[in-house]
Structure 1
Amino acid sequence: VASNWLACFPFSAQKYVYDVFFVHGFATEVLQILVSFLRHNGSDDIDINVVISNSERLLVLCLLENYGVLQIAREFGSPSKSKGFNDEWMKPNVSRIAQVVASIPDKARMNSPTSLSSQQIIVQLLSLEEEREVLDTSDEIDKNGALLFIGETFSRICRRGSADLLASELIPRVLRLVNSCLSSNDSSINEDVLESKPEAVFWLKMMESITDPYTTERISEQILHELASQDTNDVQAYWVLWLFFHRIFNLRASVRSMFVDTFILWKVFPFSCLKWILQFAVCECPPGTSLSGHNRPGLLKIIQRLLATWSKKEFVQTAPIEQQAYITAGLGLSLETMSKEELDGMKDAMPLILQGVSCNYPLLSCGCL
């Protein structure tokens, strides 16, 4: 990668001979070579600081200024590559390169260029939304190298603690798409309208490409918090969640459990997020839709589970006050959608409500339910 001798070259030779060699190289090979030198061990005849500094400079040049991360995704998504994705060595290869890409911010020095950050990697990969021919989103996920690379890279970035960065880049883009659909359809859209948009398919497939349950949960949490921070209304939030999650919500039991169990019974989100979770995952229909016939069994089931938790004296004695208020709010929002006949038809509903009232009187007196 160069040591002391690089300084002997005039600037023009460095730029047009040495640098070009890396810029025009095969992106995956250049990446692996340069990143390996970020933690290079020094020796008596090598100035290690020069080596690392030059490696960082070349990474900025190749991967960021010349969109090398994007080029890697293109290489994996090219037809010649895709044919081999059934071979056992291809998926590990994608995973290995994603690991190297995601490790760059951690391996770079404290005083390294700020452009060597996870955010720059995320922005490049999200720009693939516009490259239909590379993604070929009609393919299955495990046959599309570019999507596999996106999923693996985002998973590793999130595991390194940058799920908030990913969400902050995702939400503005998807909100623009949702708002565009709303403005062109008199503030009313449906599933067919969204799925007819070519760019919408990218977001569906992108989330499907992330198969790591931990990453899916972390991204989901951050998406909800980011939506809340953007003052998103209920309609916008529903369609953003639908666009990201409806496919994997129906395909993966772990994702369904995450929404209807973890996010309602165990986590604590802002009140607006709780409304959106219930609307998307329990009611399974847009806000303002008549709930008659829309997943009533699912709604009744979650009410029974909320009641069972809320009415226990042990819950009031041991759960943090924020968790108690959250469960109380979730129960109140759910009960609002039920008719008297449905409540009467629920076994033990009224006894549990009365028992819960006696246990949760302090919360009730504060207006939480």
Structure 2
Amino acid sequence: MHIETLAIHAGHQTDPATGALVTPIYLSTTFERSSDGTYPQGYDYIRSNNPNREALEKCVSQLENGAVAAAFASGSAATMSVFQALSPGDHLIAPNDIYSGTSLLLKDILAPWGLAVTFTDLTNLDLVTEAIQPNTKLIWVETPSNPLLKITDIAKISEIAHQINALCVCDNTWASPVGQSPLNLGADLVVHATTKYLGGHSDVLGGVVISKTENEFFEKIRKIQKVGGAVAAPFDCWLVMRGIQTLPYRMRAHSQNALKVAEFLTDHSQIEQVYYPGLKQHSGHEIALKQMSLFGGMISCQVKGGKEKAFAVAGKVKIFTRATSLGGVESLIEHRASIEGKGTKTPENLLRLSIGLEHPDDLINDLAQALE
């Protein structure tokens, strides 16, 4: 089935008890046992399983062409589970332009626990090869990256990982399953913050890990999910499932709007640099053409005049909202370096834009008056 059909039907079924077309929200924390101690309905306790979470996992695994999935309470919890499935003393390679939350997980929580990490430029295959160590078990890919929208060749990184019997894991949050299919390109696992495009309405927190195969490594992730308890709540799963139904059409609109805004910013005299893979002059455009069907709704740009001018522009917008996050129907703008805080490598004059579903001309006019 095409992804538009999967988005509506995968994981959904008519309620067997009432015939309701919309799946009920199952809030029960525990489930009845039979007299012999078994669980005839397949559910025992909410931390172990829940009908809404099970439906979401089935849906997202089909969208990503995977075998199994595990849904978590946040994107960070999903990311953490992948790293925790490694062992102390293992080594992984991660991009130096990486989501700051993932960087903090690796540096402040997992490095003291015994996980070794090398940050490098994953767009340079020679540097990736140089970073390999005898104990390298995983290469973490984030493409497009946050916030500089670098494009990593998933197929080539997967090939490098598999040559050393390591895993390739791709954070596909910014592209979504509509815009990019990492498992089809050779990746072993995919991670999403369902908070973003999958939920799509800025009203739910969640994350998910999808595996190409139901193997021993994924079973470790599943155990971490159940024993650790950072599971996605039933109502949160229900909200994400509702959001996914319109995902293909939303992503097309996000991408179309973003390209128009990126082209406007590229031609503006007050803009120093624009980062958007849909632009022909983007350094990763050719790779993006090869592995992405849509270029997504995220843009970063550097404003002439430094940090003060960037803050001034963000302070003058009227349609954009000054807020952190992405993937909702409304357009957001943020000064990224101040969000990332101490130690950030993000340029001080960079603004990150999440392009929503408003009319692109209105967004362009808003930015034009803010840049005056």
On whether the aligned pair clears a TM of 0.5, the verdict is no
Q: TM-score, normalised by structure 1?
A: 0.27
Q: Larger relative contact order (C-alpha < 8 A, sep ≥ 6)?
A: 2
TM-score with structure 2 setting the length: 0.26
Whichever structure has more helix as a proportion of its residues is: 1
Q: Indicate the structure with greater strand content.
A: 2
